[in-house]
A and B are shown apart, each in its own frame.
Chain A
């Protein structure tokens, strides 16, 4: 038992290699600049490893884009200017929160459409079921029921 626990712990330790992108340490003039840098690199998607933001990605391009953002912050560009710069080159795809436009409408509204569809189906099914649970009895069957109930009372 003890052996098994030990083995389990060892296995866990062996497999849980700490996965962390090596982000260059950067020095900032103000903490506010650092804050902006950190939030910007989290908001932007890496185009090489598409399910990572450029903060987490080790890709060369992500490194270059981090450098670009750093330089723009130091130059005094606003967050919006930096985001516009990226969108002008790579499109809305770089944004983890793309703006609501005709082309991205389905992306934003889609989940709610599915939810509404699911609710409608659920309501229809529930209604059908509740109707089905009380099957109507014919005249003769009702008479039979009454008779049975009556005979029960007499006992």
Chain B
């Protein structure tokens, strides 16, 4: 009896591990930046290239940094979600236009709608490296103290907004600014 039971149990254990492995997404690498202060930058605004923005401009507010590019196919999937989210919630959505051509980016926002309170230009991707960006789209939530509290990799779906982002932001908005 044991002779058949032991291999069976081992086989089932193997199946369970393989099953878990299938569910994991190897593309989602946990960010070491969650819980750390948001990396600094000084970037030109997409709609006013002569004016720059730094994270200090958002101090005391909960804000969301969404990394996107007009060459990024999954950003196109994500964009309507951002539009809906920006309309329904009072969310301070900051766009980081990553390694893109400014005319292309402007055209994109004109055609597909602009959910961003402000868009920043990271033409050579250096700020992207500082934020540990390795694939667009990526979305960060930053609290009132300027600490990164959450990172979403890949396109945000309406379900992600409703289940994770909206409750998280509501909670962070109730926190005291430092």
- Residues of A participating in the B interface, judged by any CB pair closer than 8 Å: 47-48, 50, 60-61, 64-65, 68, 87-91, 93
Chain B interface residue count, Cβ-Cβ cutoff 8 angstroms: 18
Nearest Cβ distance between residue B35 and chain A, in whole angstroms?
A: 12
Which of B78-86, B124-132, B158-166 is the interface stretch? Answer: B124-132
For the A-B complex, the count of residue pairs with Cβ-Cβ distances under 8 Å equals 41
**B27 to chain A: closest residue by CB:** A50
Q: How far is the CA of A15 from the CA of B36 in the complex (A)?
A: 49
Q: Check if B33 sits within 8 Å of A89, measured CB to CB.
A: yes
Residues from chain A with a CB closer than 8 A to the CB of B54 are none
Q: Which of B26, B27, B32 is close to A89, meaning CB atoms less than 8 Å apart?
A: B32
**B29 to chain A: closest residue by CB:** A93
Q: Which of A48, A87, A88 is close to B134, meaning CB atoms less than 8 Å apart?
A: A48
Q: Does chain A have a CB within 8 A of B31?
A: yes
Q: How far is the CA of A61 from the CA of B29 in the complex (A)?
A: 15
Q: Does chain A have a CB within 8 A of B99?
A: yes
Q: Check if A87 sits within 8 Å of B32, measured CB to CB.
A: yes
Residues from chain B with a CB closer than 8 A to the CB of A68 are 126, 129
Q: Does chain A have a CB within 8 A of B103?
A: no
Nearest Cβ distance between residue A81 and chain B, in whole angstroms?
A: 15
22 CB < 8 A contacts A-B:
A47-B134, A47-B135, A48-B134, A50-B26, A60-B125, A61-B125, A61-B134, A64-B124, A64-B126, A64-B128, A64-B129, A68-B126, A89-B33, A89-B129, A89-B130, A89-B132, A90-B31, A90-B32, A90-B132, A91-B29, A91-B30, A91-B132
Q: How far is the CA of A91 from the CA of B134 in the complex (A)?
A: 12
Per-residue interface assignment for chain B, residues 125 to 165, with 1 indicating a CB less than 8 Å from any chain A CB and 0 otherwise: 11011111011000000000000000000000000000000
